[in-house]
Amino acid sequence: MTADTVSSPIPYSDAALEFRREIRDWLARNAPEDLRGVRAVPRMPSPELKPHLDRWASTLAEAGLMCVAWPREYGGRGLSGVEVAIMNEEFDRAGVPRLTRGMGESLVGPAIITHATEEQKQRLLPPIISGEHDYCQGFSEPGAGSDLAGLRTRGVVDGTELVINGQKVWTSGYYKANMLFCLVRTDPEAPPHKGISYVLLPIERDGRSNGVEFRPITRINGAALFAETFLTDARAPLDNVIGGLNQGWRVAMTTLGSERGGSATTQHVAFERQFWRLVEKVRERGLLGDVRVREQLAWAYSRIQVIRANGLGLTAELAAGRSGGGLANGSTSKIRWSEFQRAMTEMAMDLLGPDALVTGPDYQLDEWQEEFLVTRSHTIWGGTAEVQRNIVAERALGLPKEPRPAKGVTS
Amino acid sequence: MSLEITAEQEALRETSRRFLSEATPLSRVREVMATDTVFDTELWTRMATELGALGLAVPEELGGAGLGYPEVSYLAEEAGRALAPGALLATAGLAVPALMAGNERARARLLPRIVDGAAVGAVAWLDPGADWSSTSPPTRAARDGHGWTLTGDTSPVLDGAVADVLLVLAEHPQGPTVFSVEPDQAGVTRTPLPGLDQTRGLARVELDGAAAEPVSAPGAGRAMVTTALDHANVVLASEMVGGAQACLDMSVEYAKEREQFGRPIGAFQAVKHKCAEVLVEVEGARSMTRYAAWCASHNTAELPTASAIAKATAAEAYFRAAAENVQIHGGIGFTWEHDAHLYFKRAKTSQMLFGDTGAYRRHVADLIGI
């Protein structure tokens, strides 16, 4: 598929085509040779790779290619979903990673832009773009996972500050973050959804600990990429509460609502590459003549094409100026890709046979072992597969809500 | 033209839905399915004249609307939703694309008749008892003076008993070739076959020296059938998406109103999650089908793969939706009186039609070169 032929499945505007040319030209001049072929960035980059990535991130920030979906007045480029999709396609085409500012860009920024005061926007958005503020998330708690509104971490106003005590869990990227965006209960008397505040908490203040302690949790693949977070008299300025005291639930919902982006036309690309790597492995094992194996592989390829077609259709609707995708598209897409990945990696393990039983030293996993294990988390984070089904059933199909007994929230 | 749904396409969909719900409600479908041929002549004529259903993808110079397969797909989706009896799949899905790939003479002679509703089209390529994957032509062509005759039996032929234009694959000295046969002549015997799905017409066609005219180039018959199937699968997938959506709508409506244990059954996760899963599958099948329909008009290189994937994907979605619909309705869903079984039977037989899901997976594996 080429973008500028008349038979494109997406009705690109002239402006969108011009934008594609602009990005393509810019990448032709600026794509770093040292990152050529690094399309996906490892969750924890090696010490050798990291400086290259940092340099590329700065180049992107200076060129105005970070936080591109944010409005221009706040340092973004105001790109539409279609343009973000174009950007992703062009970076992929150039073979270099499209770096972002992670959760600061995708979650915190949109929450600030939608709910914060002008002063907060001016103060808190630029450091996300520059990379000065690196955020990790403090939403889930040991007792509040899918039922997030049951969270118990307390925030008490003390003068111009909020004093926070409690425990968070599954804090991804804690090891590089210097800010925690978290939900705390500031009114224990109010109903669960109404007494919560959304606050941006510095992990250190003036070079000293701010009562935030991370205890790494080792995941099922052996890596410690997330942590338990203990908050002991941690202090945040009240000025860092977004959307007002006790108004945090709707701010958090904006955040969750923006946890997806313009990846609709590129999501399948990584799956397709993975698929063809699997085909090669299966070919090496001499199994491609087996009818059962061929059917399994064709099943996986077909599911990837469904994901692609869905993304193309959604982007076509967006490009035509409609919202597209129906009421619960985020949830249906997530169910589709996360459950596909689980099934595909389970299948890959079967197809790789005895070799897949053995790891390297120190539990060093190959691509398939790693993916087989890590993909289990995709149907848990960001709303479990079961919660996504509830969302689809209630919002898109209008089925009655689950009975939700009132829950005590005082600690 | 891109993938987005235009206002004109939306209007076509709306018009089709309104027309079909008025012209062929399920009560009417039940009357028609009690007949041998499962064909409603009046409905067929009205679909051709009022909706222009058969000429959507036919060029204007041949009497059609000069639109494309996205339009055919939207109409077929509505026909599938309504379980509209008739030969839409056989005619618009198989016969029209076959003729479009055929010689100019056959196109000019046959397509205008099909477009204005005067002729039902059907394509026959299977030996009785053979698997869908069989490649041996069911009939033999023989020279007869200036022309040709065909001899041999073929079955099952979709809407073969009501077809006015029979396109038949025959052995020919230069290789398999498609011929057209006028069915109203000595030497043509047609027997309607009672179907597991009573809403679709199937027939056995026996030819004994029947006069025939070539439609494909000599030896190009197999390719013509393949091309027809690539398009038919887009139409079939569209029908299946519409049928699946109808099942989901029925399930959701019933789950909202049926109460057990003091609340609507749709409040229980066991039921609501089924509905959510069906929606995910139907939405995926619709996206894939829409893309395949776009390929049929704009990107023919990708059409064989896209339509095969759409067919298999929509079949799985439809069967899931239809089976869960029976289950969600409980006892009433298992009765003859309730409409759930009509969709359930249509779903399974559509999945089997032209080749089951496993066969289509193997076909996709071949097409992508693994």
Question: Which pLDDT tens digit goes with each residue over B66-95?
Answer: 999 999 999 999 999 999 999 999 999 999
Domains B7-119 and B222-367 share a fold: no
For residue B253, the chain A residues in CB contact (below 8 A) are none
pLDDT number for residue A191: 94
Instruction: Provide the percentage of residues in chain B whose pLDDT is more than 70.
Output: 100
pLDDT number for residue A323: 72
Residue A143 burial (CB < 10 Å; 0-12/13-18/19+)?
Answer: middle
Instruction: Provide the percentage of residues in chain B whose pLDDT is more than 90.
Output: 98
Judged against a pLDDT cut of 50, whether residue B324 lies above it is answered with yes
Asked whether the beta carbons of residue B266 and residue A399 sit closer than 8 angstroms, the reply is yes
Judged against a pLDDT cut of 60, whether residue B360 lies above it is answered with yes
Ordered by where they begin, the domains of chain A are: 14-100 (1.10.540), 108-257 (2.40.110.10), 267-396 (1.20.140.10)
Judged against a pLDDT cut of 60, whether residue B294 lies above it is answered with yes
Residue in chain B lying closest to A314 (CA): B4
Asked whether the beta carbons of residue B368 and residue A301 sit closer than 8 angstroms, the reply is yes
Q: Which CATH class is domain B222-367?
A: mainly alpha
Among A87, A99, A103, which residue's Cα sits nearest to residue A45?
Answer: A99
Q: Which CATH class is domain B122-217?
A: mainly beta
- Averaged pLDDT, B117-130: 96
A259 is catalytic: yes
For residue B359, the chain A residues in CB contact (below 8 A) are none
- Tell me the pLDDT of chain B averaged across its residues: 97
**What digits encode the pLDDT tens for the residues A10-48?**
999 999 999 999 999 999 999 999 999 888 888 788 899
Check if CATH label 1.10.540.10 holds for domain B7-119.
yes
Which residues of chain A have a pLDDT value below 50?
1-6, 257-261, 408-411
- Domain residue spans in chain B? 7-119, 122-217, 222-367
Does the beta carbon of B309 lie under 8 angstroms from any beta carbon of chain A? yes
Long-range interactions of B110-114: CB distance < 8 A, separation 24+: B110/B165, B110/B180, B110/B215, B111/B58, B111/B62, B111/B63, B111/B64, B112/B62, B112/B63, B113/B164, B113/B165, B114/B54, B114/B55, B114/B58, B114/B165
- Averaged pLDDT, B295-313: 95
Distance CA A83, CA A12 (A): 9
Asked whether the beta carbons of residue A401 and residue B267 sit closer than 8 angstroms, the reply is yes
pLDDT number for residue A258: 42
Q: Helix (H, G, I), strand (E, B), or coil: what is residue B206?
A: strand
Does the beta carbon of B146 lie under 8 angstroms from any beta carbon of chain A? no
pLDDT number for residue A411: 39
Residue A150 vs residues A54, A111, A137, A156: alpha-carbon distances, Å: 38, 21, 17, 17
Among B297, B284, B173, which residue's Cα sits nearest to residue B234?
Answer: B297
pLDDT number for residue A404: 65
Residue to mutate among A338, A379, A389, A401, with most B CBs inside 10 A, is: A389
Q: Which residues contact A330 (CB under 8 A, 6 or more apart)?
A: A257, A259, A260
pLDDT number for residue A5: 42
| Segments in B130-220 forming alpha helices (H) | none
Selected residue with higher pLDDT from B270 and A403: B270
Among A175, A163, A226, A178, which residue's Cα sits nearest to residue A153?
Answer: A163
